[in-house]
Amino acid sequence: AQSVAQPEDQVNVAEGNPLTVKCTYSVSGNPYLFWYVQYPNRGLQFLLKYITGDNLVKGSYGFEAEFNKSQTSFHLKKPSALVSDSALYFCAVRGDTGRRALTFGSGTRLQVQP
Amino acid sequence: DAGVIQSPRHEVTEMGQEVTLRCKPISGHDYLFWYRQTMMRGLELLIYFNNNVPIDDSGMPEDRFSAKMPNASFSTLKIQPSEPRDSAVYFCASSLAGGGGETQYFGPGTRLLVL
């Protein structure tokens, strides 16, 4: 079975400060890891993914994520937060064998204060 | 590209009624997924198709739920009869097979309220 843990329901950060949204996972085989963002009353928008290769992945809107195999983590980061980054962020995983469906974490609400 | 299209965007119905949700995947994509989002259970997979064939329906809650994909550009999720606990946002997503790490692209969702 595969699972994702997002330990923080909410993260608060001041505009201009760096932000981190945490994610740890459990999966059989090698992981494919994803981050999505959801704005109110909208669908999920893809931000970035890790498949293989460089552990630091860069994505949309200045976001990046670092894959750490030993800690089974895939934390989302941004050097300088914007108020417009305020949204709900989901981490998702699937293994490299079998089931194509993603398993999602419970989501972390990011609140960026002006 | 128009992205994944879902209809209706909102649906309010009464308990016992039949509900049909519709999805048009991105053209050329060969995987289609139905997910449900609730406050209590988060985002969970209901069913997914590959080349119009259902592959995994283990997430379908019970026999009241059924899904079809008659062709590559259309899928339906039907609830009959509907119950208040079915109230949720239902998302459709599609992807193009590419070695396993393919990205799923989500539609805007259908917000269902069963009274």
Digitized pLDDT (tens) for each residue of chain A, 114 residues in all: 889 999 999 999 999 999 999 999 999 888 999 999 999 888 899 999 999 888 999 999 999 999 999 999 999 999 999 999 999 999 999 988 777 889 999 999 999 999
pLDDT value for B83:
96
Q: How many CB atoms lie within 10 A of CB A9?
A: 9
Nearest CA in chain B to A97: B100
Residues of chain B positioned with their CB less than 8 A from the CB of A108: none
Q: Which residues contact B72 (CB under 8 A, 6 or more apart)?
A: B25, B30, B51, B52
Q: Do residue A34 and residue B103 have CB atoms under 8 angstroms apart?
A: yes
List of chain B residues whose C-beta atoms are within 8 Å of the C-beta of residue A100 = 31, 33, 48, 50, 55-56, 95, 100
Question: Is any Cβ of chain B less than 8 angstroms from the Cβ of A100?
Answer: yes
Q: What is the pLDDT of residue A29?
A: 86
Q: CA B4 to CA B95: how far, in whole Å?
A: 10
Q: Is A5 within 8 Å of chain B by CB?
A: no
Alpha-carbon distance of A97 to A90, in angstroms, equals: 22
Q: Determine whether the interchain pair B45/A102 forms a contact, defined as Cβ–Cβ distance below 8 Å.
A: yes
- Of the candidates B68, B24, B48, the one whose C-alpha atom is nearest the C-alpha of residue A103 is B48
Find which of A100, A104, A108 to mutate to test the B interface (most B CBs within 10 Å of its CB).
A100
Q: Is any Cβ of chain A less than 8 angstroms from the Cβ of B54?
A: no
| Higher-pLDDT residue of B61, B107 | B107
CB B24 within 8 A of CB B3: no
Contact B113/B45 with Cβ under 8 angstroms?
A: no
| A-chain residue closest to B43, CA distance | A104
Q: Does A99 touch chain B (CB under 8 A)?
A: yes
At residue A69, φ and ψ (nearest 5 deg) are -65, -40
Best residue in B4, B24, B43 for a mutation probing chain A (most A CBs within 10 Å):
B43
pLDDT by residue (tens digit) across B29-78? Answer: 999 999 999 999 999 999 999 999 999 999 998 899 999 999 999 999 99
What's the maximum distance between 2 C-alpha atoms anywhere in chain A? 45
Q: Give CA–CA dist B35/B65, Å, rounded.
A: 13
- Write down how long chain A is: 114
Query: Are the CB atoms for A1 and A99 separated by under 8 Å?
Result: no
Note whether B42 contacts A105, CB cutoff 8 Å.
yes
pLDDT digits (tens, 9 = 90+) for B11-21: 999 999 999 99
Three-state SS at B86: helix
Residue type present at position A47: L
